[in-house]
Structure 1
């Protein structure tokens, strides 16, 4: 078995060395469930799914380590047996989603503002760089390398720095009790209420607003959830699990709208009031994440997010020629280029996936 694993890793190395020698780009991909994310993928497919399996899982230490091609559903099933979970609630967007793709995409679900983002749970990773070298960063404790926590830098890098071979992730126990409440509120009142409650000792684990309805999830000890429910009021909903799953997996009716002009993702300070943009919106993360379908000029959408102290990305659909992500500031772009040159000097890994000239 170990020999087969070594052969897979060696095949990856040979593919990478050959690509570097011939300056031919590689498209690193697991299940392909997030292939549409970012700019259009380029290069010859390097499929990671053969490199699969859970390497270590210690429920008492709340750490799981798995190879990049391991199905996300397999990991979650193993954790569920011990009543534990990936607390950042990663979206699958398909049965074939892998843990490597989850880390590379760096996307989190509804619980993100209350427990942390994907990168907050990454403890360590092993990377194969553009020279075919296998590099280990971090471990089962947080550790900085040469001034950077590289395992965290890989989160959201979309495969542009190298092939993530395996990753160690912190997990958390599932809450003993959960309930979700719905309130009839305007957008402005919902944002205000989300921020007021965020400053109180309430076991809130998710918030969302859409067309006059704000839904709040409470998670934790049974007594704490019961007390918070009595304090907040609202109407309890029976299909709460399906509702939050529909937001995480973007199967909610909101996301099924015509995306001719694209689905925008705006990240702004949670206290930002309603944005003066036309279109239909859905708000998550206590006001910090806002989804928007709009025929507004893309520059207006980005300027609006910037003016609020945030940024906007063209998440799905629309004209990607305008640029999917907001431009980096000069100092940050310089850091990105240095990292790219260090890990991928031949520029073979997922070129243009994040930025067309990167």
Structure 2
């Protein structure tokens, strides 16, 4: 941990420069609340939690600039005081999660399909590259030689491009009205109904289907729009409206993976995330999923040995699969992330070579 400096993250830069000189790998992290996610990395721990604080906040401009080690709960509390929020609902897998970890992991919550991802809300960033240089991107967007908007490329980079020190984020006002409807629909019918509603001018914000045949739909927007949508959707599929307090608790549980579904049925099973187009049909897999994002994100508990079966089903639906949480036996040699295309792999390698030429940031162990 480093003491907070009001101007410059000098201690972090010193650590990176020393690691570069010694060719010592660094394991970058914040609150370590997402340490289960992704392939294992090696290196000396480098924590950003001491570099915290909100640098600037302009509620009328809907922009906040915050240091990477700032607790996510702290930022959201400040925004809530002004009736604003991070609309993409970043998951919180435990106390202590940081803004830098939120950006590096690139994970979004239930509203992702309607409002966008973390990347869509990143306006700018500062980070320390693999040469120990503090770089700034954003505003008048600076681009590297390959022409990428680097501040957004950092979202989901898993700490492999540099040590994020500061980010500027777009925030949004909390919606004036919200309602949750629940429908008794089997998986196929629920997906079909979501597709129909998706083509209509309805304030859909989030959805969740889970066994036994229950579809939850959250509406957010103007009061009149939400009320009209509730009446129309109830007529379409016979839904009932949930009380606001328990509905909010359930959506928070979905966001933070605290719903009963996210408790492993048995310790050795892995949690798989499958990303597919919203219009993808029911996938031919023998397990019962939980489905979010109007059909685009689907979760299964299945053994690591089912990797080929799951990834084949995802590919046939023009999607991909991630081993999100390993079971008690570990990933059993299965890569957490799906193989990327040669083109995307080339781009990734070029970015890493540009920003981390010595390969010291969050490297994965070399397999014999």
Alignment TM-score, normalising by the size of structure 1: 0.95
Alignment match, 2:52: 52
Counterpart Cα distance in 2 of 1:264 and 1:273: 18
Describe the shift of the 1:260–1:10 C-alpha distance in structure 2 as closer, same or farther (beyond 3 A): same
**1:53–1:66: 8 Å Cα contact kept in structure 2?**
yes
1:12 matches 2:16? no
The normalised TM-score by structure 2 is: 0.92
Cα 1:169/1:286, change in 2 over 3 Å? same
Worse-superposed segment, 256-265 or 342-351: 256-265
Q: Is the 8 A contact 1:8 1:51 kept in 2?
A: no
SS of 2:339's equivalent in the other structure is coil
For the pair 1:236 / 2:237, whether they are aligned, the reply is no
2:296 equivalent in structure 1: 288
Given the alignment of the two structures, is residue 335 of structure 1 paired with residue 343 of structure 2, yes or no?
Answer: no
**Aligned match of 2:322:** 313
Q: Mean Cα displacement is larger for which, 217-226 or 144-153?
A: 144-153
Point out where structure 2 has 5 or more consecutive residues left out of the alignment: none
CA-atom RMSD in angstroms: 1.7
Number of residue-to-residue matches in the alignment? 352
Partner of 1:215: 216
Is 1:348 the counterpart of 2:366 in the alignment? no
Matched, 1:274 2:286: no
Change (3 A) 1:230 1:4: closer
Secondary structure at the counterpart of residue 336 of structure 1: helix
Note the C-alpha offset of 1:345. Answer: 0.8
Mapping for residues 125-164 of structure 1, pairs under 5 Å: 125-139=125-139, 144-146=143-145, 147-164=147-164
CA distance in 2, matches of 1:13, 1:142: 23
- Per-residue Cα deviation, 1:111-151 (whole angstroms, up to 9, x for no partner): 11101000000000001001110111113x76655410100
1:248 to 236, 252, 255: 255
Structure 1 unaligned blocks of 5 or more: none
Post-superposition shift, 1:7? 8.5
Q: CA deviation at 1:195?
A: 1.0
